[in-house]
Amino acid sequence: MTIPTRAPAPAPALIPVQVRAQAAAVRAAYALPRPLRRLIAGAPVRRDGQRLALDAQLLLSLQRISGNHLVRPAGVAASRVGLDHGRHLVSGPVIEPVATREIRIPVEYGELPATLYTPDGLAAPSGLLVFFHGGGWVLGTRTSHDNTARFLARHAGVRVLSVEYRLAPEHVFPAAVDDALAAFDHAHAEAADLGVDPDRIAVGGDSAGGNLAAVTAQLAVRRGGPAPAFQLLFYPAVDASRHRPSRELFADGFLLTSAHMDWFADHYAPEGVDRSDPRLSPLLTPDLTGLPPAYIATAGFDPLRDEGEAYAERLREAGVVVALSRQPDLIHGYINYLGIGRRFREATAEAAGALRLALSPNA
């Protein structure tokens, strides 16, 4: 069932005055001459043979000054509000012209909300990206990733279906997995209504959303029948069973911390959950043959970097076509920072180009 309407977004008047003031300060900081931006950001940061981009370092410095941290001490509700407010600082003006349409996906417990984004002038049938937002399975919404979905739709020349899957701790593992697979199945079954080619449907997402996309691809392939044509995975979380070197190298100071990752995992996969379950840790799936081609992006200064790259290597060993793109100078979450600087947009545009190519009618 579809309901023609605009995607939900807070009116500017509803944005707290303090948040609007912080957003203006962030824009002003990024408009400064480079020497002044460097002065605010501090001396260049080098680690593991990489140099942090000035755009990323300035963001981290402004975050420390403002106190806008990813996870708030007050708990889940406060962290969700903080993320919603934070998006106004970094996502930029709404990307237009992109039409939106509200979708209701039937599931056993009722309906799963989603938003369909269609860039202006895109003919039907087109390719489609079924997109799962990041946020550690605890935070994030379609609204928090609204401009990201718009950017990918416009720059890849595809429709994007952004899914409001259930979050923890209200709904623990594997609720989000069930919703993600249901969303892909609905997109395939209702392709004509959505204006898409059922043979050109990709799954994708960032961080926890990348996890859900990877798991959806695996489950769809293993059961037989409809499966995604492509995977677009941004710094995916793919192994909750162990720590790799990047988890220690970038444990603190680069937005997503090791402590944050524990906090997210404890909410989504609490005591009693087997964290080696491939539906939580898709890197541990014994057989990865037959999966769709993938573009996997990692960020150099990210605790998740090494597991994402390990997943790319395992896919290659299984004969899957993989493009691994490490953005060595960036931090976790970069596809959400499209309104500040240029480096974040450059990296996200590269991924959009890969998606465009993969879902081209002649691919």
Alpha helices in the chain (DSSP H): 17-31, 34-41, 54-66, 76-90, 146-156, 175-189, 191-194, 208-223, 245-249, 258-268, 305-317, 343-358
Q: How does pLDDT run across 25-72, given as a tens digit for each residue?
A: 999 999 999 999 999 999 999 999 999 999 999 999 999 988 778 888
Residue 167 pLDDT:
98
Number of domains in the chain: 2
**pTM score, two decimals?**
0.95
Q: Are 330 and 53 in contact (CB under 8 A)?
A: yes
Angle at CA of residue 204, ends 199 and 210, nearest 5°: 145
Please enumerate in sequence order all residues whose Cβ is within 8 A of that of 209, keeping only pairs 6 or more positions apart, or say none.
131, 132, 133, 134, 135, 140, 234
pLDDT value of position 10 = 37
* Dist. CA 203–CA 270, nearest whole Å: 26
Query: Looking at the predicted structure, is the pLDDT value of residue 14 above 80?
Result: no
Q: Is the pLDDT of residue 168 over 60?
A: yes
CA distances for 212 relative to 23, 242, 323, angstroms: 31, 18, 19
Mean pLDDT of the chain, nearest integer: 94
**Within a domain: 45:** yes
- Does residue 122 fall inside a structural domain? yes
Residue range 77-95: average pLDDT? 92
Residues 225 and 251 placed together within one structural domain of the fold = yes
Given 40, 56, 89, the domain boundary residue is 89
| Those residues with Cβ within 8 angstroms of residue 355's Cβ, 6 or more apart along the chain or in another chain | 127, 129, 152, 156, 158, 202, 204, 230, 232, 295
Q: 196-216: per-residue pLDDT in tens? A: 999 999 999 999 999 999 999
Same domain for 174 and 132, yes or no, is yes
Residue 348, classed as helix, strand or coil, is helix
Residue given tokens 């959009």 in the structure block: 352
Residues 215 and 342 in one domain: yes
In a domain, 165, yes or no: yes
* Residues 176 and 259 placed together within one structural domain of the fold: yes
Same domain, 142 and 102: yes
Supply the pLDDT for residue 8. 41
CATH code of 198's domain: 3.40.50.1820
Read off the tokens for 217: 């691809």
Residues 255 and 333 in one domain: yes
User: Quick check: is 157 in a domain?
Assistant: yes
Range of the domain at 255: 2-7+95-358
Q: What is the pLDDT of residue 74?
A: 83
Show which of 52, 71, 89 is a domain's final residue: 89
Confidence at residue 1, expressed as pLDDT on a 0 to 100 scale: 41
* Contacts (Cβ under 8 Å, ≥6 apart) of 54: 34, 37, 38, 41, 44, 341, 343
Which pLDDT value is given to residue 13? 43
Give the pLDDT confidence of 206-252 residue by residue, as tens digits. 999 999 999 999 999 999 999 999 999 999 999 999 999 999 999 99
| Residues marked as catalytic | 207, 302, 332
Q: Indicate whether 172 and 80 sit together in one domain.
A: no
Please tell me whether residues 133 and 279 are part of one structural domain.
Answer: yes
- Chosen domain end from 59, 89, 119: 89
| pLDDT tens by residue, 261-283 | 999 999 999 999 999 999 999 99
